[in-house]
Amino acid sequence: MPVVVVANPKGGAGKSTLATNIAGYFAARGHAVMLGDADRQQSSALWLGLRPAAARKITTWDIDRDAIAKPPKGTTHVVLDTPGGLHGARLNEVLKIANKIVIPMQPSVFDIFATRAFLDQLAAHKHADRIKIGLIGMRVDARTIASDKLHEFVDQLGVPVLSYLRDTQNYIHLAARGLTLFDVAPGRVEKDLVQWESICEWLEA
């Protein structure tokens, strides 16, 4: 069973945006998806509460603050949204069940330093060899110096960059309705779906 963990030690990096849309992608493919929320802010859990009954089903389950629960029977794909500052025993629990880790990062010096430290931490972990890691640039405007700096940084890492997602209100408007890019007519979010093609390929690999 694929378990995709969305993680970054820095808050506000875009973890919940990615987690909900990855879950939405799996659901659109007809999978039995469970979206777990290990973040105290419970953004993904709130999003699930907004999701229309007519939308493709995405389930969740209660996660104790001190333990990551096992997914319920019948689940085929798991997406786990994690808190900022993930470390120690909590990180160990997450890495025990993870097959893939998606790391969102924004084009700021703070995100760059936090991501560098997190990648070093992951590389030193005993489960590192069996987990695939991918980076996704969030809210990236290709016309800015910040975008250039982000590209320079990730080119040095040796970690695949799955995509650079543009800064658009589509994610905000859809999230407010409990929806994802994969729940609406493709023509409405065509530019965004193009940016997700490489992410979806990596998720399926």
Report pLDDT digits (tens) over 108-162. 888 888 888 888 888 888 877 889 999 999 988 777 767 777 777 777 787 888 9
Nearest in space to 203 (alpha carbons), one of 136, 147, 157, 141: 136
Nearest in space to 178 (alpha carbons), one of 60, 78, 53, 2: 53
How far is the first Cα of the chain from the last one, in angstroms, to the nearest whole number?
13
Instruction: State if pTM tops 0.75.
Output: yes
Q: Which amino acid is at 80?
A: L
Grade residue 183 by pLDDT with cuts at 50, 70 and 90: very high
Identify the burial level of 172 via C-beta atoms within 10 angstroms of its C-beta, where 0-12 means exposed, 13-18 middle and 19 or more buried. exposed
> Domain 3-204: which topology?
Rossmann fold (3.40.50)
Mean pLDDT of the chain: 87
Nearest in space to 133 (alpha carbons), one of 97, 102, 92, 107: 102
Nearest in space to 40 (alpha carbons), one of 84, 104, 96: 84
Q: Which pLDDT belongs to residue 84?
A: 76
Q: Which pLDDT belongs to residue 37?
A: 75
The DSSP letter of residue 9 is S
Nearest in space to 104 (alpha carbons), one of 131, 155, 149, 138: 138
Domain positions in the chain? 3-204
Rounded CA gap, 45 and 42, in Å? 5
